[in-house]
Structures are given as structure tokens and as C-alpha cells.
Amino acid sequence: MTEVRAVERVLMAYRMGEGAGVRLYRAFGSYEVPQFDPFLMLDDFRAQNPEDYLAGFPTPPHRGIETVTYMLQGPVEHKDSMGNTGSVNAGDMQWMSTGSGNIHSEMPKPLDGWMGGFQLWVNLPRSHKMMNPRYQEITRDKIPAVSPGDGFFIRVISGSVEGVKGPVRDIVADPEYFDVTLCPDAVFSHEIRDGYTAFAYVISGEGTFDPKEGYQVNNRDLVLFGNGLSA
């Protein structure tokens, strides 16, 4: 019998400033962090007002973490102390393991005034804190999409769905990262390994996750599922 993870918490992303003055929404990244181990922070920087994001994120230093940037609208230009440069465009994914240390900049370049994306921070275990920095930039055309049932469409960024594997691999935390689109009344389920933290972030529309409790969630709601942390 399949055991469905119950919804443990529903959090609403809150407005705050970051970088050189970027106005964004933080889904978690403060007192909530222990419940999300090994994840440290999730920022939502979707915006239509250029004043909210054009200041960007110039040369912040990082060490001992991995940063994951996924774009929906408009590009972000990336430069870092490893010599990597590039543009992360709509539908692209950037995954950077800072390891022993890396200085980088991320500067928004809006498209028709719009900017939209997310950045997730993942903690590195003590054994990997001083690993050599690594950088992956995956373009939209390299991210496979699957539709294993009626009414839903999934971009597989890392992990696997129906045997289709995402292109982002060899990440220390062994994550799965999906962009899931559901049609009205569609139901999607995915098996999560025991001891693994699981959460979902809603970026459009409304829906429910726990079939027993029927929690209603909307845009910028984050759902944390129970039974994800090791004893």
C-alpha cells in the first residue's frame, strides 16, 4: 500500500530585499531552515517592475553551498571567479557548487520589462565543504519534458520521472527538481525516498496536496511534506 506523505506546513513567501536592492519573495530561509535540511533558502524573483530587480546581485562570495537558478522569463548574465561567463535564459538552469569558495555576479537583463526565476540554496555536507568549485549551465533544449498521464506536463531538471532522467547530475545532495504543470482536476504523484526532504512551491493557479486535509494552496505558497527528515 502506498503511503502518502501528509502536509506538515504551508508557508507563504514573504517580501524582502536582497543583493544590491532587488525586491523579491523568500519562500524560506530563516527560522524555517532546520525543517528543510539540506536546503537553506528559496527565493522567487519574478517581477514586472524593473526597479525591483535591475540592481542585481553583483559579486557575492559563497562557500560550502550549491546554488540553483531556474529562469522562467528574461535572462540573467553570470560571471564568476572560476572564469565562467554566460547568460541563463528563460527555461535554462544554472547549478553552481561553490565548495571551497567562489565569487560570482548575476545581473538581470529583462525581456519586455519582465523578469522571472528562482534560486535555491543547498547546503554541502561537512565532507564536501572544501571541494573544488563546479559549474553547470543547462539550456532549455537539454531539459527533457514528459507527460506520463492525462492533464500534466513535467520538465525533468534533475532526478527522473517515468525513466526519463534530468540533465543536472552528480550533485552532492542527490536532489530531484521538477517543473510540473497540471491541468484542472489533474492528479500527479511521485515517489520520494525515505529520509529525503520533500516540498513543492506553487507558481501559478491553485490546488490541493493532502487528499485527507485538502489544503488549498495558491501562487507563492510553499508546501512542506512530513516524514522527510532522518531520525
Q: In the structure, what pLDDT confidence band is assigned to residue 229 with cuts at 50, 70 and 90?
A: very low
Provide mean pLDDT across the span 126-136. Answer: 84
Nearest to 108 by CA among 94, 123, 89: 89
pLDDT of 133 above 90: no
Identify which has the larger pLDDT, 114 or 187: 187
Whether residue 43 contacts residue 16, with contact meaning beta carbons closer than 8 Å, is answered with no
In this predicted structure, what is the pLDDT of residue 231?
34
Tell me the per-residue pLDDT of 45-64, one tens digit each, with 9 for 90 and over.
Answer: 888 777 777 666 666 666 77
| Ramachandran area for residue 211 (φ above 0: left; ψ -120 to 50: alpha; else beta) | alpha
Tell me the per-residue pLDDT of 114-123, one tens digit each, with 9 for 90 and over.
Answer: 778 898 989 9
In this predicted structure, what is the pLDDT of residue 104?
61
**Cell, residue 45:** 524573483
Out of 91-95, 96-100, 147-151, 226-230, which region has the weakest mean confidence (pLDDT)?
226-230
Query: Which element (helix H / strand E) includes 102?
Result: strand 102-108
Q: In the structure, what pLDDT confidence band is assigned to residue 112 with cuts at 50, 70 and 90?
A: confident
7-225 belongs to which CATH class? mainly beta
Reduced to 3 states, what is the DSSP secondary structure of residue 177?
Answer: strand
Global model pTM greater than 0.75: yes
Separation CA 224–CA 124 (nearest Å): 21
